[in-house]
Amino acid sequence: MDFQIISDLHLETHPAYDFVIERTAPYLALLGDIGHLEHDQFFPFIEELLSRFEIVFLLFGNHEPQSYTMDAARRKVIAFQDRLSAHSPPCPPSTSTSTSASTSASASTGRFVFLSQTRFDVSDSLTVLGCTLYSHILPEQDQAVAARMSDFKMIADWTTETHNRAHDADLAWLNAQVREIELREPRRRIAIFSHHAPSLDPRAVDPRYAGSSVTSGFATELRDQPCWTSSAVTTWAFGHTHYNCDFELGGVRVIANQKGYYASPRDTFVPGRIYSL
């Protein structure tokens, strides 16, 4: 199954919601920090993508919710998703509790999938599990992260404590989903999409920031967790770090394809790159 995987467009920094993503694969995964929900151009940008891609996946980074509470931001995206669904033809009845690609929106408009602790079955053999996967902020880095990262100033009622609780919830959900799929559907492959990074492997970390006092605001080492050690998990794609990679670690392909801020885009970012999952 071919995907385009993109994150950290930061269209809010120009703002430049006229950024063009040419289709080279049927499925597009937007792994956070695409822009700000408060901007009027955000959802039209997504709708334009839906005119060209069969499925557009979106999960929150730490920038989308800014100027809202996290719950209010989620409600805004869910309302957008519901509005799109209301204009779609009725879906055939299904006995599955998971979302599947067979319920795509229409022949002319792609399907929008908001990944907020969401399982999506792309096919009979491939499942996407998606969530923001907030990092676990270490106690010794708490003050530095709170001072230097805009999340805790720009997202209403968001603190390092709520951030860590969100990490715990996302990680528990991922582990539970992986265990269930492994038990009940052992032939399935799993691709995990997140915003925050799941590894501190040097290949996933910008050497300029190795040993930084705010590292735990960006990444958490998860290679000993069931969501990594399970043989069902074949791919993990993420964003947030503005550092791109494509390597294998413990049987899992680790991917990041991030543009970065308008003033300093990464030259390794290729929006048309195809990832076969």
Single out the residue of 45, 51, 44, 59 nearest to residue 6, CA to CA.
59
- Range of 26's domain? 2-276
Angle at 126 between CA 124 and CA 132, to 5 degrees: 135
The structure's pTM equals 0.93
Residue-wise pLDDT tens digits, 108-124: 689 999 999 999 999 99
- Residue 201 or residue 262, greater confidence: 201
Residue 144 tokens read as: 């530095």
Residues 41, 193, 72, 263, CA torsion sign: negative
Burial of 270 (0-12, 13-18, 19+ CB in 10 A): middle
Q: Into how many domains does the chain fold?
A: 1
pLDDT above 70 as % of the chain: 92
What pLDDT is recorded for position 88? 67
CATH of the domain at 230: 3.60.21
Instruction: Give me the amino acid identity at 100.
Output: S
Which of the four pLDDT bands, split at 50, 70 and 90, describes residue 98?
A: low
Judge whether residue 169 has pLDDT over 70.
yes
What pLDDT is recorded for position 157? 92
Sheet holding 2-6, edge to edge: 111-114, 55-58, 27-30, 2-6, 275-276
